Amino acid sequence: MKRTLVVGLTGGIGSGKTTVSRLFSGLGVPVIDADEISHELTAKGGAAHGPVVSLFGPEALSDSGELRRDYLRRRAFEDPALLKRLEDIIHPMVYAEIERRIAGVDYPYCVVSIPLLVESGRGELLDRVLVVDIPEDLQLERAAGRDRRAREEIKSIMRRQASRGARLQAADDIVSNDGDRSVLRDQVAALHRKYLESGRNGIDTCS
C-alpha cells in the first residue's frame, strides 16, 4: 500500500506561509494547518482549554469563557519558562491530531503547515520540508503591515524564531516569496507536479 507523501511547510512570521498553503489547497491538495489545530484545541470546550487556564489562571479568560489570546501571547513571550510549559501542553496534542489527519488523507501527498517546524525539531512525521523564504527586511515590513504590531514586537518575534539561515539549511525545497503573486504561483505549481509524481510512485523522497 502506497503511503501519502507528507510535506512540511514552514517559514518565519510574515513570510507568506498562509498564501502558499492556499495555493496548494486551490490545486486540490489536502492541507493540515498546525495553527488551526492549536486554535481548535484551545477554544472553549477544546482538549487544551482547561489545562491552559490552569496554567495561566482565571485572568486568562474573557467574560465569555474564551481564552484571551493576546494576554497569553504577551505573558508567554515575557516568560520563556511559561512559554515552555504552554508548549508542553499544546504541542503533543497538536502533533497527535496532525498524525491522525495524515492517516486519513486519500491523495498522493499532503501539506502540513507548521510555523515553528525548525524550532520544534519535530520533523519525524515529514518526508520533505518546504520553506517559504523571504529577505528579513521584507519579512519585517510585511509582518508589521499585516498584523499592525509595533516593529519592535515583530523584531522580537523574529529573534525568537529560527534564523533564515537555519530554515534554509533544514529545507528540502524552497519557494521564494520576494516577488509578485504570479511568480509564487508558478513555483507552487512546479512543486505540485513534483510531489504528485513522487506520491503516485510511492516514493517517500524526491530529488
**Each residue's pLDDT tens digit, 37-57:** 999 999 999 999 999 999 999
Do residues 176 and 164 make contact, with C-beta atoms less than 8 angstroms apart?
no
Give the rounded percent of residues in the chain with a pLDDT score beyond 90: 67
Q: What are the backbone angles phi and psi of residue 135, rounded to the nearest 5°?
A: -60, 145
Residues 152, 161: Cα–Cα separation, whole Å: 14
For the chain, the first-to-last Cα distance in angstroms comes to: 22
CA 68 remoteness from chain centre: 21
Tell me what the pLDDT averaged over the chain comes to. Answer: 89
- CB within 8 A of 125, min separation 6: which ones? 6, 8, 95, 98, 99, 102, 112
Alpha helices in the chain (DSSP H): 17-26, 34-42, 49-56, 69-78, 80-103, 117-120, 136-147, 151-160, 164-170, 181-200
Burial 118-145 (b: 16+ CB within 10 A, else e): bebebbeebbbbbbbbbeeeebbebbbe
Residues of the chain with CATH 3.40.50.300: 1-30+105-207
What pLDDT does 119 receive? 83
What pLDDT does 157 receive? 80
What single string gives the DSSP state of each residue in 10-69?
Answer: E--TTS-HHHHHHHHHHTT--EEEHHHHHHHHHSTTSTTHHHHHHHH-GGGB-TTS-B-H
Options 3.90.660.20, 1.10.520.10, 3.40.50.300, 3.20.20.70; which CATH number does 1-30+105-207 get?
3.40.50.300
Give the pLDDT band of residue 141 (cuts 50, 70, 90). Answer: confident
Q: What is the DSSP letter of 163?
A: P
Give the pLDDT band of residue 207 (cuts 50, 70, 90). Answer: very low
